[in-house]
A and B are shown apart, each in its own frame.
Chain A
Amino acid sequence: MFSAFLIKYGEIGIKGRNRHIFEDALMDSIRFSLSKVPGDFDVTKEQGRIYVKYSSDFDYDSSVAALKKVFGITSFCPVVISEDKSWDVITKASGDYIEEVYPDRNFSFKAFARRADKKYPKHSMEIAAEIGEYLLKRFPELSVDVHHPDVSFNIEIRECAYIYSIEIPGPGGMPIGTNGTATLLLSGGIDSPVAGYMIARRGVNINAVYFDAPPYTSERARQKVLDLAKIISAWCGPIELHIINFTDIQLAIFEHCPHDELTIIMRRYMMRIAEKIAWDEHRMGLITGESIGQVASQTMQSLRATNAVCHIPVYRPLIGFDKNDIIEIAEKIGTFETSILPYEDCCTIFVDRHPVTKPNVHGIEKSEHHLKGIIEDLVEEALRTQKVVVCE
């Protein structure tokens, strides 16, 4: 029955003279997201509204699922379009709409009308009143409530007549690509995919870096990260995943540095490498899944020690979240099930029994001094041998 979706976008509507940039980015995101769903469609911008119009049969449920993942959409409405705007046709179409969409009609409603086509013989107040009257007559079990209706019934007269009443919430946020670019440090855990999702939701285009440590980590651990990147790409768009072989760096740290500082030093090298990758693509920041105090390497002191090597901003959207809050989002975006698969990642395999929880930057720098003359080549080599996989 539905042949289109009306896309509502709140926040980007207020962006002044940049508005078209945001709207175009939103339309691109919608096109990308729906391209994986069967059906021929057009995304159009008409009189300050964005429509997805289908010219063929389409899979309603998967289209809705896809639109729910397009950042920038605050909500969207499945719409019935009637090209014939004559009064008899649109009143009947309105009645048929109610009949089909609401098998159980024991509810109150209010009719809203808009008349963009100013040549139309009835003005909007008349349209609303007369449609309401028609519906009441055809379905006596309905009632009208103009203050708190159960259903808001909308009819808009434009170049065609648009009828809709269902409003499906979108993910909100801003369209991908409207707010710069950043590099996500993606592990196989619960937090980092959520962090990537949250920053991408603000319109940031993200790529990602994964630190692989064969034979200490397995091919399945790497596959898990590829799977996670694929899951979040449904929200963030295609993700370029840079895979860094981190084994030799880790072994060098293990051999030359105090073991209670391993994790901190390791994370500092991860940051350095991630920053290099971000830098090469002119990306404006790093994203991590850190949250204060979650583990030894995420105390305020540890975060400071890790942060000290970075020159570009590090965005930590989960910084004030409890684990349960993070899990809730992970479940919502569909990464949780994959994140909890039990494969070793490179953070867990070299972890000391009693890692430092209050490192000081100076001390860590001193320990890193032992790596001088060895580590530079290893970092260089790790960057040189990186593999890039596009996950979508």
Chain B
Amino acid sequence: MEIYLDNAATTRPYEEVIDFQDRIMRECYGNPSSLHGKGFEAEKYIRYAQKTFADILKVEEKELLFTSGGTESNNMAIIGCAEAASRRGNHIVTTALEHPSVYNPVRFLENHGFTSDTVSSDEKGRLDLEALAAALTPDTVLVSIMGVNNEIGTVQPLADAVRIIREKCPEAVIHVDGIQTFAKIPVQPKKLGIDAFSVSGHKFHAPKGTGLLWVRDGIRMNPLLFGGGQQRDMRPGTQNVPGIAAMAKAAEIENADLPEKIQKMYALREYFIGEALKIEGVRLNGGLRAGDFTLSEDPEECAAPHVVSLGFEDIKSEVLLHALSDRGIYVSGGSACSSNHPNVSRTLKAISVPNEYIKSTLRFSFSYDTTQEELKTCIEALNEMLPVLRRYTEGGRKKRR
């Protein structure tokens, strides 16, 4: 038995996606830049992918760039847009909850003449809009805000943030890291009023090594790579045709009947959290109920459907993670991308999770294939294992003797 609850780390590619990519690799191996028929055949798949994403995001096809994944999309948007705007100013604003693929390019730019400010957030992980307004200066050329946080699943009040930014810095480029947002919260970047949006394929059942960056027409951006002219020289290099086409196929499948699927997932999330909080010494990080891109008066209304972050009192998360793993239940401790670093999660610190819970936090993340049955099994496993594991920790022993 395998219960995969680590879908915010990566997902299992859909069968149709694997078959589609497989067929293209076998049959349509041409170079989309080649003039002959084989090349044109390959180019058609690129066009198919462009059209698919343009339809889903309601943007122009020519505004889309295919990349190797979320990290590249974020790097390109941040470094490329900041550098292109460096004559207008040298100030960047981000939030305290960003992924390392946003956080570190900003550190890179700081070493190259830029300055930056980090906007704090409340204890649910929503960025502080007043602090955002205060951080903006006439020199601000780029604001990068994550759409949905990868560790705790908080949806940011992007619509409010955009309004504030446009008032104070109409020229600033607004980038949204949409890697955990795409196909989880319906999003139309143009309607939202942002300028750049990053997507990663493997978060929605496409192959790894595929990604997308939307940049609004008219926004100036420098390329990071230099080569033979592909993708209008903004992202040269022979396109990964099978991967790009497979990513489009996955996006198609994932976005079909999206509102119903999202609603169903929120119901599962509510069930899971309800059951989990019945267990002694369990604490939820982030919001309880569904959120959208506006700041709700109820602080609990800010959650994405697919991420649940729970703290387990007196438990080292790594131990619980391995114990679950032994039963075929796969979850993450904090954020999978940072699990190789011993330092504690920046996100959990930013939302003031008490120290004793920071190292006791697990992330459960769902896909549209996750079933209530699976979640029930997971809850049962937690119910069984937590008392046993706590018997062998100092704190657990004292309290529950």
Q: Smallest Cβ distance from A3 to chain B, in angstroms?
A: 45
The reply on A295 being an interface residue by CB < 8 A is: no
Q: Smallest Cβ distance from A385 to chain B, in angstroms?
A: 15
Alpha-carbon distance between A217 and B322 when the two chains are bound, in angstroms: 8
B325's partner among A215, A216, A344 (CB-CB below 8 A) is A215
Contacts of A344 in B (CB 8 A): 316, 318
Alpha-carbon distance between A216 and B325 when the two chains are bound, in angstroms: 12
The reply on A255 being an interface residue by CB < 8 A is: yes
B319's partner among A215, A254, A259, A342 (CB-CB below 8 A) is A215
Q: In the bound complex, do residue B326 and residue A218 qualify as a contact, i.e. CB atoms below 8 Å apart?
A: no
Q: Known interface pairs A342-B340, A342-B341, A342-B342. Does A259 touch B322 (Cβ–Cβ under 8 Å)?
A: no
Secondary structure at chain B's binding surface: helix, strand, loop or mixed?
helix
Q: In the bound complex, do residue A216 and residue B322 qualify as a contact, i.e. CB atoms below 8 Å apart?
A: yes
Q: Which A211-249 residues sit within 8 Å CB-CB of chain B?
A: 214-219
Q: In the bound complex, do residue A215 and residue B392 qualify as a contact, i.e. CB atoms below 8 Å apart?
A: no
The reply on A146 being an interface residue by CB < 8 A is: no
- Interface size classification for chain A: 10 to 19
Q: In the bound complex, do residue A215 and residue B316 qualify as a contact, i.e. CB atoms below 8 Å apart?
A: no
The reply on A101 being an interface residue by CB < 8 A is: no
Alpha-carbon distance between A353 and B395 when the two chains are bound, in angstroms: 12
Q: Which residue of A lies closest to B342 (CB)?
A: A342
Q: Which residue of B lies closest to A250 (CB)?
A: B392
Alpha-carbon distance between A214 and B342 when the two chains are bound, in angstroms: 19
Q: Smallest Cβ distance from A351 to chain B, in angstroms?
A: 10
The reply on B346 being an interface residue by CB < 8 A is: no
Q: In the bound complex, do residue A254 and residue B318 qualify as a contact, i.e. CB atoms below 8 Å apart?
A: no
A349's partner among B316, B323, B326, B342 (CB-CB below 8 A) is B316
Contacts of A219 in B (CB 8 A): 322
Q: Smallest Cβ distance from A384 to chain B, in angstroms?
A: 20
Contacts of B342 in A (CB 8 A): 342
Q: Which B325-342 residues sit within 8 Å CB-CB of chain A?
A: 325-326, 340-342
Alpha-carbon distance between A350 and B397 when the two chains are bound, in angstroms: 13
Q: Which A337-351 residues sit within 8 Å CB-CB of chain B?
A: 341-342, 344, 349-350
The reply on B391 being an interface residue by CB < 8 A is: yes
Q: In the bound complex, do residue B341 and residue A214 qualify as a contact, i.e. CB atoms below 8 Å apart?
A: no
Contacts of A218 in B (CB 8 A): 318, 322
B326's partner among A214, A350, A352 (CB-CB below 8 A) is A214
Contacts of B320 in A (CB 8 A): 215
Alpha-carbon distance between A349 and B389 when the two chains are bound, in angstroms: 12
The reply on A116 being an interface residue by CB < 8 A is: no
The reply on B394 being an interface residue by CB < 8 A is: yes
Q: Which B318-371 residues sit within 8 Å CB-CB of chain A?
A: 318-323, 325-326, 340-342
The reply on A65 being an interface residue by CB < 8 A is: no
Contacts of A255 in B (CB 8 A): 391-392
The reply on A89 being an interface residue by CB < 8 A is: no
Q: In the bound complex, do residue A251 and residue B392 qualify as a contact, i.e. CB atoms below 8 Å apart?
A: yes
Q: In the bound complex, do residue B319 and residue A216 qualify as a contact, i.e. CB atoms below 8 Å apart?
A: yes
Contacts of A216 in B (CB 8 A): 319, 322
Contacts of B322 in A (CB 8 A): 214-219
Q: Which residue of B lies closest to A216 (CB)?
A: B319
Alpha-carbon distance between A259 and B394 when the two chains are bound, in angstroms: 9
Contacts of A342 in B (CB 8 A): 340-342
Alpha-carbon distance between A251 and B397 when the two chains are bound, in angstroms: 13
Contacts of A215 in B (CB 8 A): 319-323, 325-326
Contacts of A341 in B (CB 8 A): 340
Q: Smallest Cβ distance from B359 to chain A, in angstroms?
A: 11
Q: Which B279-325 residues sit within 8 Å CB-CB of chain A?
A: 316, 318-323, 325
Q: Smallest Cβ distance from B365 to chain A, in angstroms?
A: 20
Alpha-carbon distance between A193 and B322 when the two chains are bound, in angstroms: 26
Q: Smallest Cβ distance from A224 to chain B, in angstroms?
A: 12
Alpha-carbon distance between A352 and B392 when the two chains are bound, in angstroms: 12
Q: Give the residue among A218, A341, A353 with the most B Cβ atoms within 10 A.
A: A218
Alpha-carbon distance between A216 and B321 when the two chains are bound, in angstroms: 9
Alpha-carbon distance between A353 and B325 when the two chains are bound, in angstroms: 28
Q: Smallest Cβ distance from B216 to chain A, in angstroms?
A: 41
Contacts of B323 in A (CB 8 A): 215
Q: In the bound complex, do residue A349 and residue B319 qualify as a contact, i.e. CB atoms below 8 Å apart?
A: yes
Contacts of B394 in A (CB 8 A): 259, 352-353
Q: Smallest Cβ distance from A222 to chain B, in angstroms?
A: 11
Scan A269-293; emit 1 where CB is below 8 A from any B CB, else 0.
0000000000000000000000000
Q: Which B175-223 residues sit within 8 Å CB-CB of chain A?
A: none
Alpha-carbon distance between A219 and B342 when the two chains are bound, in angstroms: 17
Q: Smallest Cβ distance from B117 to chain A, in angstroms?
A: 31
Alpha-carbon distance between A392 and B55 when the two chains are bound, in angstroms: 55
Q: In the bound complex, do residue A254 and residue B392 qualify as a contact, i.e. CB atoms below 8 Å apart?
A: yes
Q: Which residue of A lies closest to B391 (CB)?
A: A255
Q: Which residue of B lies closest to A220 (CB)?
A: B340
Alpha-carbon distance between A342 and B325 when the two chains are bound, in angstroms: 19
Q: Give the residue among B319, B320, B323, B340 with the most A Cβ atoms within 10 A.
A: B319
Scan A200-216; emit 1 where CB is below 8 A from any B CB, else 0.
00000000000000111
A-B contact pairs, 27 of them (CB 8 A): A214-B322, A214-B326, A215-B319, A215-B320, A215-B321, A215-B322, A215-B323, A215-B325, A215-B326, A216-B319, A217-B322, A218-B318, A251-B392, A254-B392, A255-B392, A259-B394, A341-B340, A342-B340, A342-B341, A342-B342, A344-B316, A344-B318, A349-B316, A349-B319, A350-B392, A352-B394, A353-B394
Question: Interface of B with A (CB < 8 Å)?
Answer: 316, 318-323, 325-326, 340-342, 391-392, 394
Contacts A214-B326, A341-B340, A350-B392 known; list 8 others, CB within 8 Å. Answer: A215-B320, A215-B322, A219-B322, A254-B392, A255-B391, A255-B392, A342-B342, A344-B318
